[in-house]
């Protein structure tokens, strides 16, 4: 099966590195115009240059915006539309893992987590919804975490924000179906990422990063951490016409780590 996204414009948040960048590369390879959004201009420009070098002729826009604010969300959509045309693929990927003992999570951290993970998805989806409905074609992916389905002790506020994102996914899917807007969630497990590279570096271990990662992933059902391109492959499928009968799902992309389906 060959997946093509020609003629479509995607906006991906948290896209300067990690899973966001992997999705941007996969979408660009499939022919989509891609707006990559993150907060740090230097990292964005480096990502844009890297993607453009890999895929000659790719249309890439780098947009520095803080999507945890209403102003940042409005800026991201406005600049993406001005540079590439109306957005018909949205990936709400921005987020960090914030967690700790419940009594120690203060109001400021709760609010910051909800602003970045939940309200960003609400605001961005609302901003592109009308155009998608008018064109009778749209795709939204909410990138969540497996804690949305199976929250553990000391997993607040992340697990709560992600569970709210899963509810939002189902609401949007139910409302969007009649307009040709398909909405799904992808729930992240453990992936090889810059976050884990930094963690390894801070440990000052005698093991190489590759050795440490292999040992850390050995206890997972598939025996290893995921690769970013494995995540982006599913995302590319879900936003394509090949997935035209899939909406309202929350798919674990975790190598079997989640205790629930």
Q: Half-sphere exposure (CA, 13 Å, Cβ side) for 162?
A: 29
**pLDDT reading at 248 higher than 90:** yes
- Tokens linked to 178: 């009649």
* Mean pLDDT of the region 103-124: 97
Q: Half-sphere exposure (CA, 13 Å, Cβ side) for 136?
A: 1
Tens of pLDDT, residues 137-181? 999 999 999 999 999 999 999 999 999 999 999 999 999 999 999
Backbone angles phi, psi at 61, to 5 degrees: -120, 130
* Mean pLDDT of the region 77-95: 98
CA neighbor of 91 nearest in space, from 189, 165, 159: 165
Task: Supply the pTM of this predicted model.
Answer: 0.96
**pLDDT reading at 11 higher than 90:** yes
- Residues of each domain in the chain carrying CATH 3.40.50.720: 9-191+234-251
* Mean pLDDT of the region 109-120: 98
Helix H or strand E segment including 62: strand 60-64
* Mean pLDDT of the region 192-214: 88
**pLDDT reading at 103 higher than 90:** yes
Tens of pLDDT, residues 39-75? 999 999 999 999 999 999 999 999 999 999 999 999 9
**pLDDT reading at 96 higher than 90:** no
Lowest mean pLDDT among 15-24, 156-165, 199-208: 199-208
Q: Is 9-191+234-251 in CATH node 3.40.50.720?
A: yes
Q: At 138, is the secondary structure helix, strand, or coil?
A: strand
Diameter of the chain by CA atoms?
57
Measured between alpha carbons, how far is 97 from 9 in angstroms, rounded to an integer?
Answer: 28
């Amino acid at each position: 099966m060959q997946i093509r996204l020609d003629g479509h414009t995607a906006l991906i948040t948290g896209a300067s590195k990690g899973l966001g960048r992997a999705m941007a590369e996969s979408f660009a390879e499939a022919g989509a115009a891609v707006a990559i959004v993150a907060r740090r201009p230097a990292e964005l420009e480096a990502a844009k240059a890297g993607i453009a070098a890999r895929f000659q002729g790719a249309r890439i826009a780098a947009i520095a915006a803080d999507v945890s604010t209403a102003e940042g969300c409005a800026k991201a959509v406005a600049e993406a539309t001005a540079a590439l045309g109306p957005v018909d693929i949205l990936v709400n990927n921005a987020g960090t893992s914030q967690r700790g003992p419940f009594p120690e999570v203060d109001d400021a951290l709760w609010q910051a987590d909800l602003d970045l993970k939940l309200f960003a998805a609400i605001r961005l989806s609302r901003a592109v919804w009308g155009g998608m409905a008018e064109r009778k074609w749209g795709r939204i992916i909410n990138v969540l975490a497996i804690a949305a389905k199976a929250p553990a002790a000391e997993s607040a506020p992340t697990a709560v924000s992600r569970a709210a994102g899963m509810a939002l996914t189902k609401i949007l899917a139910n409302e969007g179906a009649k307009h040709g807007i398909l909405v799904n969630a992808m729930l992240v497990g453990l992936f090889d990422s810059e976050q884990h590279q930094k963690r390894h570096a801070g440990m000052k271990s005698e093991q190489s990063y590759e050795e440490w990662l292999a040992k850390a992933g050995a206890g997972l059902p598939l025996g290893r951490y995921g690769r970013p391109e494995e995540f982006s492959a599913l995302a590319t499928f879900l936003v394509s016409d090949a997935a035209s009968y899939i909406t309202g799902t929350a798919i674990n992309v975790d190598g079997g780590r989640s205790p629930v389906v």
